[in-house]
A and B are shown apart, each in its own frame.
Chain A
Amino acid sequence: MTDTTHPAPKPKRTKNLGAALILKKSLLSAFVALVLFSLMIGIRTEAGPTGQLIYWTRFGDLAIMVVLVFAGSILTELLRQWLAARHPAPILPARAKQSLSTLSRLFVPLLLIFAVLVPVIFYKQRYMLDLGILVLTYVMLGWGLNIVVGLAGLLDLGYVAFYAVGAYSYALLSTTFGLSFWICLPLAGILAAFWGMLLGFPVLRLRGDYLAIVTLAFGEIIRLVLLNWQNVTGGPNGISGIPRPTLFGIPLTPGESGLAAHLGIPFSPTHRLVLLFYIILALALLTNWVAIRLRRLPIGRAWEALREDEIACRSLGINTTTTKLTAFATGAMFAGFAGAFFATRQGFISPESFSFQESALVLAIVVLGGMGSQLGVVLSALALIGGFELFRDFEQFRMLAFGGAMVLLMIWRPRGLIAHREPSLFLATRTRVSSDLVKEGR
């Protein structure tokens, strides 16, 4: 690949602050931290035994936090200076870059093989299988949202709404009408796509930020309706007893009618996990395949052109309204599929699983991966969901760390991990477009 379009990094010019100045800055930061944390950390309130409010002091914790901020501030300054000094020299010599690019071409197929073999490798570890299923679910959601946000540049902060539609559709259809997972899966997608068009039609002409908050509001409305419409959705208790998927109609149960009996192997609950894993892998790969193919078709190119300059699109005869709707509905459809899968995997769903946090998480996966990049979504899903799971024990600090990570990552690499775009067709040479040139939508 000829990297003809990536500009050489310019040397960064930052002020090399002297030690005294660093000290002053850090002291200032520590003082600010002191004021900010004095009441929130220094004092801990709680509803007392008789219902009135009591408090106790935690000056020790406060002191620790202030010292941490002070030290951290010094470290960040030093780090910044060190990085700035190193920047002019390229980090990797040309030859290393060459071999790295050969590696990167092998990376994707290797990753795919690894993914297929995960149930074999981790057969004994249910936890890892579960984690794999979770990561793949988010990868699929990320690839779906990528179509809306990454390709078409439409800011969707309510993606979870379509996820919920898919999940509740399957749950209700299966518990009320007894339809199997395989029949409900396409139905869930169609319903979600339908909702996507319904929501999209009035709001897609809004400008970026407004579209974001409208979709956020819509996501919240869906969650509140699910929470309060007890008769249909079961309210906060949700819907339970959702049937698990069958393989060609054969259930995965221990009895004689079960798959294990059919295959003549001893039953194990892990079988279901393996089946679920391959189902989500297949669904995710389907999402990926469709996304990649659509990108090479005129519709995909129109999506990207829409992201770049909507007015130019209109001047070229492209009906931007239907183009946006297609992107929105397609993304919604994949969220619907993922939702149906989620329902069948859990056996039980409730509105709690469909909060704004989910939408934000999927959006973070897409943006962090590098908008429009399929591989980027995989990498960032692995990092974020994997990281999330690692911190499972620190329940309280998890979301805090996640929020902080989002801020830091945006400051460090606003364009995401894969900071370039691959054109969808070439005349002569394969090139890459640096993300600095790529617009992000209106």
Chain B
Amino acid sequence: MSTSGPILDVQHLSMRFGGIVAVNDLSFEAERGQITALIGPNGAGKTTVFNCITGFYKPTTGMLRLIHQNGREFLLERLLDYRVSKVAKVARTFQNIRLFSGMTALENLMVAQHNSLMRASGFSLLGLFGAPTFHTAERQAIERARHWLDRIGLTARADDAAGNLPYGDQRRLEIARAMCAEPVLLCLDEPAAGLNAREGEALSELLLSIRKDHGTSILLIEHDMSVVMEIADRIVVLDYGVKIAEGTSREIRDDPKVIAAYLGTDEKSAIEVMEQDA
């Protein structure tokens, strides 16, 4: 019964597409109740890692171990995509927002609670005939949705089509939708993309409050360094599918390998630049 210890243990993950090696022997751990950030230049393989973790790609090799609070473990690479969310309780958002744009914000949040509602509706049979258990479950689901709408400040627009919401609201709605699935691990793919400074701060607040209030562990891909530096407890840096650094935000900020990767130069030049700066 481990309550400490990592929630996600990635070991020797590799993903090959034909001749291209997108991720090469990646190993890292994400601690429970912490925010772990995955950063790196474009094309480093970060979204590929996400897709492996969330069941959309089958890794070529490697092991993805998810450990729940009660000690139950899941091997994510063996689970079907929808089971990663349903059983292992890993939820995600997408780089290009994937909301149900023709459905309202409220409906989006209700879809996320599909599995519990399906059970309560007796796989539709009880629900078809108006059984009270289903009504209760539905009311609870609506309450949970309302709670999240309040959290992200969209209660007034609950009945608007998701596709009509402004960009920043859509991003937040996608996060709220993922949270409605009650995950233990929340994977966010560039949640701050396209947000201005103020929205980025609001996002950071939201993520910190999620960590505090729900104890949800967060794994995050991000390019916006202000968000990463502010909220990440631990950072893993990828470049060309390989982990080049790992540590706290302070350690990463000063790591010449990381700077070199982002600048596109080699390590030696990065160190020169840093020494000049200092």
Contact = CB atoms under 8 A, between A and B. Distances in A.
Contacts of B149: 427
A433 interface: yes
Contacts of A430: 159
Interface in A294-324: 294, 297-299, 301-302, 304-305, 307-309, 311-320
Nearest to A432: B161
B124 to A, nearest CB: 5
A412 interface: no
Given A308-B101, A308-B102, A427-B106, A317 B160 contact: no
A39 interface: no
B163 interface: yes
Interface in A127-161: none
A421 interface: yes
Max chain A CB contacts within 10 Å: which of B81, B98, B103, B142? B103
Contact of A425 (B110, B112, B114, B163): B110
A317 B114 contact: yes
A294 B85 contact: no
Interface in B141-167: 142, 145-146, 149, 155, 158-161, 163-164
B102 A301 contact: no
B159 A311 contact: no
A431 B104 contact: yes
A308 B159 contact: no
B103 A305 contact: yes
B86 interface: yes
A424 interface: yes
Given A304-B100, A314-B81, A314-B82, A297 B121 contact: yes
A316 B114 contact: yes
A315 B103 contact: no
A305 B160 contact: no
B114 A423 contact: no
A195 B29 CA distance: 48
A14 interface: no
B128 interface: yes
A147 B91 CA distance: 28
Interface string A414-433: 00000001011111111101
Nearest to B141: A298
Contacts of B94: 311-312, 315
Contact of B101 (A4, A290, A428, A437): A437
Contacts of B146: 427
A304 B159 contact: no
A424 B110 CA distance: 10
Nearest to A293: B128
A29 interface: no
Given A5-B160, A425-B106, A434-B161, A316 B85 contact: yes
Contact of A290 (B55, B102, B107, B128): B128
Contacts of A433: 102-104, 161
B149 to A, nearest CB: 8
Interface string B38-72: 00000000000000001110000000000000000
Nearest to B180: A316
Say which size band chain B's interface belongs to: 35 or more
A413 interface: no
B160 A304 contact: no
A423 B54 contact: no
B236 interface: no
Interface string B194-233: 0000000000000000000000000000000000000000
Contact of A308 (B103, B115, B177, B181): B103
A186 B159 CA distance: 39
A226 B55 CA distance: 43
Nearest to A321: B82
B271 interface: no
Contact of A316 (B87, B107, B111, B121): B111
Nearest to B54: A315
B159 A316 contact: no
B168 interface: no
B83 interface: yes
B115 A317 contact: yes
Contacts of A309: 98-100
A426 B91 CA distance: 25
Interface of B: 54-56, 81-87, 91-92, 94, 98-104, 106-107, 110-115, 117-118, 121, 123-124, 127-128, 134, 142, 145-146, 149, 155, 158-161, 163-164, 177-178, 181
- 4 closest pairs, A vs B, by CB? A438-B102, A317-B86, A317-B85, A308-B100
Interface of A: 4-5, 290, 293-294, 297-299, 301-302, 304-305, 307-309, 311-320, 326, 421, 423-431, 433-435, 437-439
18 contacts: A293-B127, A298-B124, A299-B123, A302-B114, A302-B118, A304-B107, A313-B111, A314-B56, A315-B85, A315-B91, A315-B94, A316-B91, A316-B111, A316-B178, A326-B124, A425-B110, A433-B104, A438-B101
